[in-house]
Amino acid sequence: MQKPRPSEVFDFPQKDENGEPMGKVRIMTLKMEQHDEAKRKAHEKLKRKNFSNEDLSSPAISALYSDAVAKEVLAMCVVQVDGMENPDKGIIYSPIFRDADDVAQLSASEVLVLFSAYQLVQHKYGPWERMDPEDIDAWIKRLGVGGSGFPLLSMPLQDLVELTTALAVKICTVSSLLASHLSSLPPGFVSSLKSLITDIGSYGDLASSQDVAGGEKSQSILGIEDAISYAAVLKE
């Protein structure tokens, strides 16, 4: 019920001739009724193109529907960085896009980056259902056995960020433990382990379990901008 809704500021995913971001935008969380409105508008647009309900259930058209919903969401959540004070409604931010058709003028990669940013903001302010430690361990085993990044493509972005953070903590913890016991291990064993040890000394202390689990004061090891960049590469 917070007014204005929680939000974060991001670089707009276009660069000028000097390679610098062309500006910044504010991305706000949306209410459930706004999500429903985005779905309704997207459905109506596809129906006007003579797609039947049966068509909408096919994988190809379902992807079109998802894209249409994403554009409707962005039209509502992407606003100007600075707002105007309203005595009754608090700070009001003006939308960047008039409607989803304006969003459609962006490239596919630009839409992807903006929508990934929206997902992360929505996830940050919750509420949401986090992955259980057992689920994280199961994913790690699955990736190790499969030897491929393909399974990650089936994960929601929020879960992907959480899994990546958990992996980073596990790797750094194991590396720290191994490094502290190298002197007491047989030489042959040490030479085999050295390639597995990550130098984390220059990056500060490991995150606590509370940091990884989240909370008002928690900070993720994986920064939000890094996560968006990684998601964009992963989806290409």
pLDDT digits (tens, 9 = 90+) for 33-62: 888 999 999 988 888 888 777 776 777 777
How many residues in total does the chain contain?
A: 236
pTM of the predicted model as reported, rounded to 2 decimal places: 0.56
Q: Are 74 and 91 in contact (CB under 8 A)?
A: no
Where is 194: in which H helix or E strand? Answer: none
Question: What burial class does residue 236 get, using C-beta atoms within 10 Å of its C-beta: 0-12 exposed, 13-18 middle, 19+ buried?
Answer: exposed
Q: Are 175 and 196 in contact (CB under 8 A)?
A: yes
Chain segment 77-96, per-residue pLDDT in tens = 999 999 888 777 778 889 99
Query: Span 66-72, mean pLDDT?
Result: 92
Report how far residue 152's alpha carbon sits from residue 154's, in angstroms, rounded to the nearest whole number: 5
∠ CA 72-74-78, rounded to 5°: 140
In this predicted structure, what is the pLDDT of residue 142?
74
Q: What's the token pair of residue 147?
A: 């030897």
More confident residue, 2 or 98: 98
Q: Which residues contact 3 (CB under 8 A, 6 or more apart)?
A: 89, 90, 91
Chain segment 97-148, per-residue pLDDT in tens = 999 999 999 998 899 999 989 988 888 886 555 667 777 777 777 777 665 5
∠ CA 181-183-187, rounded to 5°: 110
In this predicted structure, what is the pLDDT of residue 72?
95
Q: Are 99 and 7 in contact (CB under 8 A)?
A: no
In this predicted structure, what is the pLDDT of residue 71?
94
DSSP per residue, 8-50 = EEEE-S-B-TTS-BS-EEEEE---HHHHHHHHHHHHHHHHHTT
Query: Span 171-180, mean pLDDT?
Result: 77
Chain segment 198-227, per-residue pLDDT in tens = 655 544 555 544 443 333 333 333 444 554
Query: Span 63-74, mean pLDDT?
Result: 90
∠ CA 106-118-235, rounded to 5°: 65
Q: Does the structure show a pLDDT above 60 at 12?
A: yes
Phi, psi (degrees; rounded to nearest 5) at 10: -130, 160
Q: Does the structure show a pLDDT above 50 at 29?
A: yes
Of 1-5, 9-13, 156-160, 216-220, give the lowest mean pLDDT range.
216-220
